[in-house]
Structure 1
Amino acid sequence: MDVHIHGRNVDITDRFESYVESKTEKLEALLPKAQTFNVKVSRLSDKSPKHGDRVEITIVGSGPVIRAESSGSDKYTAFDIAYGRILERVRRAKDRRQDRRGKGRTSLGDAASNDFSGVGITPASLDTVNAVANGQPVAQAGEGDDVYTPVVIRSKEFPAARLTVEEAVDQMELVGHDFFLFVDDSNGRSSVVYRRKGWNYGVISLDDAA
């Protein structure tokens, strides 16, 4: 695995490089197909040292990209936290794959094809899906007429990826997000998987014919 470390407004010392490289041995065992381990270090504020440093870690290989970031009082602390999150996401994804192989379990793909009957997941209503797609506020359960409106709305665009539901959940876990947008390979619909409690996940799909 190739290790690349970049610093922005902060010095990258030989000691820090050695520290980062020593941590990659465990990841190489967990991710034998990983090709590059990228670490970006930046100083949050030169005028306020107490704000510390931010570390962003990106692992690129033959599978999904894995990312994690964190802030700390210094670059070592920030790296350790981000590195711990990487390990947690890799292990969670591996555990989920092993759990899927258990007998008597229903895969997300099978559950979605049967409208989630018998698995305790209720798909969102068409009104909710349309509201989310159009950037409109959505009423939260139990709040009556109150609506949730985020203070800051950030907009991003990503290339559409055709994936199975299982693959989308794996990628969501590895980047550490609570949801993941994708094109469902089984039906060509724009969809999103999202994390529920524990090991439960949900899927929302847009019906282009509606």
Structure 2
Amino acid sequence: MEIIVKGRNTEVSDRFRGHVEDKLQKIEQFAPRAQRVDVELTHEPNPAQAETSKRIEITIRDKGPVIRAEASASDSYGALDLAMGKLIERLRRARDRKKEHPVKTRVATPLTLTPEDVNVPTETPADDDERRIPTTPGEAVETQLGDSPVVVRQKLYEATPMSVDQALYEMELVGHPFYLFIDDETKQPCAVYHRHGWTYGVIRLDAQIG
């Protein structure tokens, strides 16, 4: 299992990197087929957010759904402990679901957005006025709206058709409030999202044009 630890707006010490690797050994108990784990430590420099200035995001990639957890705290060790707690719970949930509902293994890439998808520059066109759309899965393109400070970031994801039930399951695994997918029955672009309590909503798009 490959473990990638990186920092954003902060340096990752060898001591903390070793601590992360020790913590992640627990993952193999729940996800023995995990191929790679990405861990990102982000520092928020705003003094007003000192209590949550350190954010940890952990993403597990294997032959099944992507599983992600994130948490914030005043120090990186505390954030890691919180994120690991969420991650282990989601791994347990995924393991239990496989026992109850065995499914054919497939590769799925979640259509989810993270704060990085909105705030972090990835690629800037040579001409700020040039409007481009990403054409390769994983590619991200940023454009500036005229002379304004507004920057629009577009990223292309691969979509694997699935049921609403599977989309809800994968939304829970990545820990986001919504999840974009293609319905495998209607072929419609859809989004599932949390409403309140244990209720969810589904937004469907009629993509027929003409």
TM normalised by structure 1 equals 0.62
- In the TM superposition, residue 15 of structure 1 has moved relative to its aligned partner by 2.2
Q: Does 1:84 align with 2:85?
A: yes
- Whether the 8 Å contact between 2:55 and 2:76 is mirrored in structure 1 is yes
Q: Does 1:194 align with 2:199?
A: no
- Whether the 8 Å contact between 1:33 and 1:61 is mirrored in structure 2 is yes
Residue aligning to 2:162: 164
- In the TM superposition, residue 10 of structure 1 has moved relative to its aligned partner by 3.0
**CA, structure 1 residues 49+13, in 2 after alignment: closer, same or farther (shift >3 Å)?**
farther
- Whether the 8 Å contact between 2:180 and 2:190 is mirrored in structure 1 is yes
Distance in 2 separating the partners of 1:199 and 1:46: 34
- In the TM superposition, residue 199 of structure 1 has moved relative to its aligned partner by 6.1
Residue aligning to 2:17: 17
- Whether the 8 Å contact between 1:34 and 1:60 is mirrored in structure 2 is yes
- Whether the 8 Å contact between 2:2 and 2:37 is mirrored in structure 1 is yes
Residue aligning to 2:33: 33
CA RMSD, Structure 1 to Structure 2 (Å): 3.1
Residue aligning to 1:43: 43
- In the TM superposition, residue 46 of structure 1 has moved relative to its aligned partner by 7.6
Q: How does 1:50-199 map to 2 (within 5 A)?
A: 50-51=50-51, 52-98=53-99, 158-159=156-157, 161-165=159-163, 166-195=165-194
Name stretches of at least 5 consecutive residues in structure 1 with no aligned partner.
102-153
**CA, structure 1 residues 100+199, in 2 after alignment: closer, same or farther (shift >3 Å)?**
farther
Provide runs of 4+ in structure 1 moved above 6 Å.
Answer: 46-49
Distance in 1 separating the partners of 2:181 and 2:38: 25
- Whether the 8 Å contact between 1:56 and 1:68 is mirrored in structure 2 is yes
**CA, structure 1 residues 194+8, in 2 after alignment: closer, same or farther (shift >3 Å)?**
closer
Number of residue pairs matched by the alignment: 158
Residue aligning to 1:7: 7
TM normalised by structure 2 equals 0.62
- In the TM superposition, residue 163 of structure 1 has moved relative to its aligned partner by 2.2
- Taking every aligned residue pair, what percent have the same amino acid on both sides? 42
* CA radius of gyration, larger in: 1
Output the amino acid matched with 1:83: M
Residue aligning to 1:148: none
Distance in 1 separating the partners of 2:174 and 2:9: 26
Distance in 1 separating the partners of 2:203 and 2:48: 43
